[in-house]
Structure 1
Amino acid sequence: MKRLDVVVIGAGQAGLATGRLLADAGLDFAIFDAGDRTGDSWRRRYEGLTLFTPRVYSGLGGMAMAGEPTGYPDKDEFADYLEAYAARFRLPVEHRAVVASITRDSGGRFIVSGSGFDTIAADAVVMATGAFRDPIVPSWAAALPSEVAAMPAEEFGDGSHLPPGPLLVVGDGASGRDIAVLARPKREVVLATGRPRRLLPERLLGKSLWWWLDVTGLVRAPTRSLRGRAMRRSDPFPNRGRRALSDLAAEGIRIKPRATGVAAGMVGFADGSAVRPAAVVWAIGYKADWSLIEVENVLDGNCVVRHDDGISPVEGLYFVGLPWQRNRASGLVMGVSADAAVIVDHLLRRHLARHR
């Protein structure tokens, strides 16, 4: 069995930011990723997707993004940036490596098993898969007629593969609104909303909203602080590209309240109306799946990861890229390098103590 100091699971922005710091420290590690290429988790997302943050706030530590700093990179540009980042710092990414289980032996080492790689014994594991893995699908989805094409947002692509007829987008977060706008020129679109969303202007006094959040420190307000808790409750996103519901309605998108269920092939809404869709896109959000970590005390009673700024109570286990891990920036590219630095600092101190 091969022995490593650290295994990093996931070669997205969080895994690569962590990997660069581990490489700088001279540790023996590997980064496992299920994709064929670094950045594939971004390449497969829907057409037209851009990052929330401008390029100036979308680079990882040690390598800024090229291009107009105030512009927004699209998914393919960012995927290529991640691939270039891994190449520049010669990070040991192993592709097509699917981790199936993480256990612990009697000596306290983590045993990482799966397909596409030999089983590894590691002193530490960094989970960098993020919390946006499994799309949330309502319980009534199973009642949809078999001929209705239903899929999560990441499988929408450009929508050209969908059958003709009305498209129902369930969920009006940023992805749901983007997909509704993308699909509208070619078909009838119905957008089912959820909880009220707070949209902020993209620019204030000529400056990006993210510039203001950065210089005021709001984006880095600790999660458990008064400012952090207030931001988390509202969790606004920029109204970039005129994505207010009134703007969407003006483009011919039918805005409906929460979808409540299916009856006779019709999806019903909270106002009593209904529609018969030809296709449905789930844009409600995502949930984490930590079932591969077969170690006690990782999750609390609600199946939520136990951690303090990404440091698990299970010694040697770490998380990077969780939303609100340390602050609002944690779930964005702009925050993962700082979070990775906290994790790697703790990991190195533990490593040195164990090898004195």
Structure 2
Amino acid sequence: MQQPVLVIGAGQAGLAAGFYLRKAGASFVIVDAGRRIGDSWRARYDSLTLFTPRQFSTLPGLEFIGNRELYPDRDEFAEYLETYAARFSLPVRLGHLVARLVQLDDGAFEATFQNGETIKADDVIVATGGFQVPIIPELVRRFGGEVLQLTTATYRNPHHLPDGPVLIIGDGASGRDIAIECRKLQSVILAAGGPRKLFPERLLGKSIWWWLNLAGVLRAPADSWIGRRLKSADAFPDRGNGNTSLAKRGVRLASRLVDASGDEARFADGSSANVRTVIWAVGYRDDSSWLQVPGGTDQNGTFLHREGVSPVKGLYFVGRPWQRNRASALIMGAGPDAEQIVAQLLGRRQEAAAR
């Protein structure tokens, strides 16, 4: 008798996988560490809005209520996820943090949760997302104790910061958004790693995402010419946070941070600045320490897969950045990627049952 599919993570990727498993009539359970569905979004900084407008921020089978052209905030999307799970009666077990996943001698998997419970499964879909542990470079040790240091995971809003200059390291979408809101109360320096490419938010009256989706750019395979160009550029929409806009708002744009001492930050162009707060916004890394399955990760702890299929039989992924294409890291890509993975998983089960 086959055991239920175990889906780890009840974010957009895990719920999308649940939708297709439910649609196929498969037995499954979704586990999540949070107390509520959507807590991973509620834990982000207060002013966070999604990368894409509502029309491109939906999961299969349920529209996002509201203006299709505007960007939902973190709480709206968290509520959408809760509504989604309830609408399709998805079996989610909250408060279940996976501490360890191993593969047994018979090929099945056993997950041990932080509360000591265990569950066995013949197939596992890892849907833990690509934003797990903030990257904190070694330079963090160079600043003195008088400097408050935060990450995009621990920063909430500018009202919680002490008086004094704020240095934000990393000029991605989050770094730029945080720089703009902090500038309302403090002087702000934004340190970039190199030239940043932004594309227009709208073109001929329509969202740039509409055009990219229409042209098929977002569905281009990761190893295609277009995919490689997109990955290299790592561009995102200019929503009023381009370099010119930042400068007009009084944000000082600095070159790459190369050293620090006490409260002094030193940059690649030879300039320096004294700061009171540092916010690290240089990206995230995976926490794969719980995945104790040989062949599931490489020697650096990176999840191993090809388009979401692990070399380990019965192990799958959904929601990995560039899992299949640029859309894979966006809400709009969760559904298509989940549909493909669930089809492969169930297809393999049917083949095994027919033997």
Specify the TM-score bucket, using the shorter chain as the normaliser.
over 0.9
Post-superposition offset of 1:159: 2.3
Query: How many residues were matched structurally?
Result: 353
2:298 to 290, 297, 300: 300
Verify the 8 A CA contact 2:197 2:233 in the aligned structure 1: yes
- Residue 317 of structure 2 corresponds to 319
Q: Please, what TM-score do these two structures have when normalized by structure 1?
A: 0.96
Q: CA deviation at 1:290?
A: 1.3
Question: SS where residue 168 of structure 1 aligns?
Answer: strand
Pick one of 300, 311, 334 that aligns with 2:332. 334
1:284 equivalent in structure 2: 282
Question: In structure 2, how many angstroms separate the alpha carbons of the residues matched to 1:193 and 1:230?
Answer: 20
What corresponds to 1:39 in structure 2? 38
Q: Secondary structure at the match of 2:288?
A: coil
**SS in structure 1 of the partner of residue 183 of structure 2:** helix
CA contact (8 A) 1:14 1:128 kept: yes
Give 1:6 shift.
1.2
Secondary structure at the aligned position of 1:19 is classed as helix
Partner of 1:76: 75
Give the aligned residue type for 2:347: R
Matched, 1:213 2:212: yes
Q: How does 1:123-138 map to 2 (within 5 A)?
A: 123-138=122-137
Counterparts of residues 214-229 of structure 1 (less than 5 Å) = 214-229=213-228
- Structure 2 stretches lacking a partner, 5+ long: none
Residue in 1 that maps onto 2:144: 145
Other-structure match for 1:22: 21
For 2:137, give the aligned amino acid. P
2:135 partner amino acid: I
Contact 1:128–1:319 (CA<8 Å) still a contact in 2? yes
- Report the Cα distance in structure 2 between the residues aligned to 1:306 and 1:86, rounded to whole angstroms: 28
SS of equivalent residue, structure 1 residue 69: coil
Q: Please say if residues 16 and 91 of structure 1, whose CA atoms lie closer than 8 Å, have aligned partners that are also in contact.
A: yes
Corresponding position of 1:94: 93
**CA distance 1:29–1:347, change in 2 (3 Å):** same
Asked if the contact 2:147–2:262 (Cα under 8 Å) also holds between the matched residues in 1, the reply is no
1:11 corresponds to which letter in structure 2? A
In 1, Cα distance between equivalents of 2:284 and 2:52: 20
Q: CA deviation at 1:155?
A: 1.9
What is the TM-score of this pair, normalised by structure 2? 0.96
**How much does 1:65 deviate?**
0.5
**After superposition, what is the alpha-carbon deviation per residue over 1:50-90, rounded to whole angstroms, capped at 9, x for unaligned?**
11111111100010101111111111111100010011111
- Whole-Å separation in 2 of the counterparts to 1:27 and 1:84: 21
Q: CA deviation at 1:108?
A: 0.5
Paired with 2:147 and 2:87, the residues of 1 have a C-alpha distance of: 45
Match of 2:343 among 325, 335, 345: 345
How does 1:136-215 map onto structure 2 within 5 Å?
136-215=135-214
One-letter amino acid matched to 1:305: F
1:232 corresponds to which residue? 231
| Equivalent position amino acid for 1:310 in 2 | G
Q: Deviation of residue 158 (structure 1)?
A: 1.4
Distance 2:54 2:238 in 1: 17
Q: Report how far residue 211 of structure 1 moved.
A: 0.7
Provide the secondary structure at the position in 1 that maps to 2:265.
Answer: strand
Question: Contact 1:97 / 1:117 at 8 angstroms: preserved in 2?
Answer: no
**What CA distance in whole angstroms lies between the structure 1 residues aligned with 2:300 and 2:288?**
12
Following superposition, the deviation at residue 219 of structure 1 comes to 0.6
Q: After superposing the two structures, state which structure 1 stretch, 300-309 or 47-56, moved more.
A: 300-309
Task: Provide the rounded CA distance (Å) in 2 between the counterparts of 1:188 and 1:161.
Answer: 15
CA distance in 2, matches of 1:279, 1:296: 42
- What secondary structure, in the 3-state scheme, does the structure 2 residue paired with 1:186 have? coil
Contact 2:42-2:75 at 8 Å conserved across structures: yes
Q: Is the 8 A contact 1:4 1:120 kept in 2?
A: no
TM-superposed CA distance for 1:245, in Å, is: 1.2
Q: Distance in 1 between matches of 2:200 and 2:229?
A: 18
| Aligned pairs for 1:7-18 within 5 A | 7-18=6-17
Query: In the TM superposition, what is the alpha-carbon distance from 1:117 to its structure 2 partner?
Result: 6.4
Name structure 1 gaps, 5 residues minimum.
Answer: none
- Alignment check: 8 A CA contact 1:131 1:287 kept: yes
Larger mean Cα displacement after TM superposition, 169-178 or 202-211:
202-211
Query: Structure 1: how far apart are the matches of 2:91 and 2:194?
Result: 42
- Distance, in Å, in 2 between the alignment partners of 1:104 and 1:19 is 22
Partners of 2:259 and 2:95 in 1: how far apart?
38
Q: Structure 2: how far apart are the matches of 1:252 and 1:265?
A: 21
Q: CA deviation at 1:302?
A: 4.9
Structure 1 pair 117–10 and aligned structure 2 pair: CA distance change class (3 A): farther
Change (3 A) 1:353 1:5: farther
State the Cα distance separating 1:224 from its structure 2 match.
Answer: 1.0
Q: CA deviation digits over 1:36-61, x for unaligned, max 9?
A: 11011111211221111111111000
* Aligned partner of residue 294 in structure 2, secondary structure: coil
Q: Give the 4+ runs in structure 1 shifted more than 6 A.
A: none
The one-letter amino acid paired with 1:354 is A
Contact 1:43-1:79 at 8 Å conserved across structures: yes
